[in-house]
């Protein structure tokens, strides 16, 4: 059993975890701290036990926030963070750095911000193409030996990179974007994960809000919302994609589910080793997502949904050219 699943069992966690990024990063202005803390407190009270953050999010603000929210609750959760990609205030931009000394320094800083002496799961946030993955994975492995992290993870990597990394040290989880309209892990990564009992942690399982049916006009997104720079959400592509979404919305209505719940139910139907971590700024949406834990789809429904939003029909790449240069995942032709 992957150490991730072992820890989730220890803390009696639901299958669905919580991505905390949205509160501090990428989707417009950060949520005021008091409001964000109330949201995280509510998430814990309603049953979330898997909390995911990163050094990058909010230029370390998200880790500080999560640390405050989970003070006194640390032994009741699976706490995950990521290093190897951080905001450099001098350069005014994010920097990918997978060198062993950087990973150690960032991990120790994360521990301090999160108010803990260890992380249950620590990911290499992005592959540093200047550093052999074996060196980065080896550095994370030494942090395991020292008790600073319990398990090693990778984020947005290919099956080839995963196999090279785990030859150096076991990899407990790979985090990758995975949803009905982003099926890149199905090219090769899922198979590679299953070869060695590695969990696939699915971020953006609601398609960055698209699958909830709430994103209808890119012009209404805040200027600092990262989706403004994503081709699928452009004024040229979004209308086409929204037409494709109509069949999905029909299925949700027929089943008496919200679109977001249907998106999560489809994802959990892909296998027990797939762990969705939807993010939200809304307590009501957090509760709605967690309720999807109890929903099971019939095989015929999964088959029907598989024909919706297929990669060859979705308009636009999932990342801009600049963002795409930072990731190592397989891409559809």
Structure tokens at 320: 């801009």
Instruction: Note the Cα 122 to chain centre separation in Å.
Output: 13
Structure tokens at 162: 């995963």
Alpha-carbon distance 135 to 101, whole Å?
10
Alpha-carbon distance 194 to 180, whole Å?
20
Structure tokens at 166: 């785990």
Q: Which residue has the tokens 């205030």?
A: 89
Active site residue 123: no
Contact assessment for residue 67 and residue 36, using Cβ atoms and an 8 Å cutoff: no
Of 27, 48, 57, 123, which residue is the catalytic one? Answer: 57
Tell me the sheet residues that pair with 86: 95
The CB-side HSE value for 25 (13 A sphere, CA atoms) comes to: 20
Instruction: Note the Cα 45 to chain centre separation in Å.
Output: 21
Structure tokens at 42: 């509510």
Residue 296: other Cβ atoms inside 10 A: 8
SS percent in the chain: helix, strand, coil, step 5: 45, 15, 40
Burial class (CB in 10 A: 0-12, 13-18, 19+), 12: exposed
Tell me the sheet residues that pair with 275: 201
Contact assessment for residue 61 and residue 54, using Cβ atoms and an 8 Å cutoff: no
Burial class (CB in 10 A: 0-12, 13-18, 19+), 38: middle
Structure tokens at 312: 């060859």
Q: Which residues are catalytic?
A: 57
């Amino acid at each position: 059993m992957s150490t991730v699943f072992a820890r989730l069992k220890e803390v009696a966690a639901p299958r669905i975890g919580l991505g905390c990024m949205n509160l501090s990063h990428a989707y417009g202005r950060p949520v005021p701290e008091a409001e964000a803390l109330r949201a995280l407190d509510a998430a814990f009270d309603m049953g979330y036990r898997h909390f995911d953050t990163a050094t990058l999010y909010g230029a370390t603000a998200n880790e500080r926030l999560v640390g405050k929210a989970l003070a006194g609750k640390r032994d009741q959760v699976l706490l995950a963070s990521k290093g190897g990609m951080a905001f450099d205030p001098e350069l005014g931009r994010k920097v990918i750095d997978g060198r062993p000394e950087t990973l150690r320094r960032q991990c120790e800083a994360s521990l301090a911000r999160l108010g803990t002496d260890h992380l249950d799961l620590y990911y290499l946030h992005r592959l540093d193409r200047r550093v052999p993955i074996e060196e980065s994975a080896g550095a994370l492995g030494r942090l395991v030996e020292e008790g600073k992290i319990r398990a090693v993870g990778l984020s947005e990597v290919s099956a080839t990179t995963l196999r090279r990394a785990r030859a150096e040290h076991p990899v407990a989880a790979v985090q990758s974007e995975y949803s009905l309209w982003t099926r890149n892990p199905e090219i090769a990564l899922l198979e590679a994960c299953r070869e060695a009992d590695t969990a696939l942690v699915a971020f953006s399982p609601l398609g960055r809000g698209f699958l909830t049916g709430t994103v209808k006009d890119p012009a209404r997104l805040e200027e600092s919302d990262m989706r403004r720079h994503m081709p699928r959400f452009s004024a040229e592509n979004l209308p086409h994609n929204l037409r494709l979404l109509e069949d999905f919305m029909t299925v949700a209505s027929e089943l008496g589910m919200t679109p977001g719940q249907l998106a999560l139910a489809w994802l959990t139907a892909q296998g027990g080793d797939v762990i969705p971590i939807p993010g939200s700024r809304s307590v009501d949406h957090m509760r709605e997502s967690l309720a999807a834990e109890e929903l099971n789809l019939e095989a015929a429904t999964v088959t029907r949904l598989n024909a919706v939003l297929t990669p060859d029909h979705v308009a636009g790449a999932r990342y801009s050219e600049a963002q795409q240069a930072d990731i190592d995942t397989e891409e559809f032709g």
